[in-house]
Amino acid sequence: MKNTSRKLNNALTRRVIDLHDRGYTHDFLPTTDNKFLCIQDSEDFSVEDLDIKVIDQQFDQLTKTYKYIHTIETINGSKGLLIIDFICTSGFLLN
């Protein structure tokens, strides 16, 4: 019997795993007050306290949209990822 299950988000998943292996283990989300929330420790950071870099763009098979993968380094040394559908850097937000 042939396996008909689809493999979704292979490239996106591989990229995230690679970045986790490089120490980018935290997850960040933008908040409505132009801050960024670290999911793991519930700490809010202002954009001025972060070094944000866009490093890749991958197609998300689940949402059928492109996602921008960002690395984030905080002033306290934490490193993590922000994966969203718009470009975000320390200097500006593009939506």
Q: What is the pLDDT of residue 94?
A: 47
**Angle, CA 81 vertex, CA 72 and CA 14 arms, to 5°:** 135
Low-confidence ranges of the chain (pLDDT < 50): 1, 3-5, 94-95
pTM of the entire predicted model: 0.83
